[in-house]
Amino acid sequence: MVKKIVVLLVVIVSLAFSGCTENENVADNENSADTFGSVQWVSYEDGLNESASTGKPIMLYVYSKQDCLACDKMENLLFSDDGFVEKSRGFVMIKLNVDVQQEKEVAFNYRVQYIPYLPTTIFLSSNGTELNRVIGYDYSHPSQALNSFLGYMDDALQGKMNREDFSFTTINGKTKHLSDYRGKVVLLDLMATWCNPCRMQMQELEKVLNHYGSNDDVVIISIDTDQRDDVNKIKDTFGDHINEWTFGVYNSEVVSKYLLEGSIPTLVIFDTYGRIAYLRAGLTYSQDLISIIDALK
């Protein structure tokens, strides 16, 4: 009986130590992991130095391991694609986990704190100039998402800055383009006449407009997302603001490209080059918008 107890204790102790060793290895692997699939990743500081010395552009991937399904899908689907892996060799690949305070602070420097939708991927030239930014990952259409992302990679490898553009029709029947406002910060407000939060958002936009006064370096464009809303309905609903900034009728291109999760209001801020600097669904207060705009001017 004593021998059996001794043997049993030895087995338990052995298993206990075996379990601790295994867990420690898992933790060490998670902390030191520098690959997703076959892609080689480096730390932020090492990546900046490598880019400066080699002239390679940077792909900066900002993600979270906490409740970010799109991040998981992007890593499992996109980062494992052979075409992505091949193109990644032309970049210095850096990943920032916002769950880690130090890396979160670095992400803040790239205005990722203003964009609650992860993952966010930022392409930088070797001198640190932002070329383009991809917000989110549409895992419901993985093939389209892959082709689009590979296109962004191609542009970055060629040093091309991605400048957003689209056309829309104002409530006065004029055709305008986002590119008409190059050199200005543009706030795109996606709304509908039946949306009460959209009216609240316009009150905040009015505060932004009043803050900058006669400064025409800041432009606001409100575009309707509901094709059932005609010009008269838009004028009747938002009459207080119609003459304060530009209003546009329903535009399928704009809605499909920028409307987040079908939620309105959705705000998009484009910097003076036409790059996306901010993208968020839901009410955003004027003081937050002003902080973002001031950082872009």
Per-residue tokens: 76: 């499992």
pTM of the model: 0.72
Contact assessment for residue 140 and residue 77, using Cβ atoms and an 8 Å cutoff: no
Parts of the chain belonging to CATH 3.40.30.10: 35-157, 167-296
d(CA 254, CA 225): 8
pLDDT tens readout for residues 272-295? 999 988 888 899 999 999 998 998
**Banded model confidence at residue 35, pLDDT cuts 50, 70, 90:** low
Three-state DSSP state, 186: strand
Write the CA distances from 186 to 120, 177, 270, integer angstroms: 20, 12, 5
> pLDDT by residue (tens digit) across 160-196?
998 999 999 999 999 999 999 999 999 999 999 999 9
Second CATH level (architecture) for the domain 167-296 = 3-Layer(aba) Sandwich (3.40)
CATH 3.40.640.10 for the 35-157 domain, yes or no: no
Q: What CA–CA distance (Å, rounded) separates 115 from 135?
A: 8
Cα distances from 107 to residues 103, 180, 289, in angstroms, run 6, 31, 18
Tell me the per-residue pLDDT of 129-166, one tens digit each, with 9 for 90 and over: 999 998 888 888 899 899 999 999 999 999 999 899 99
Cα angle at 296 between 290 and 297, to 5 degrees?
A: 90
Structure tokens of 51? 């880019």
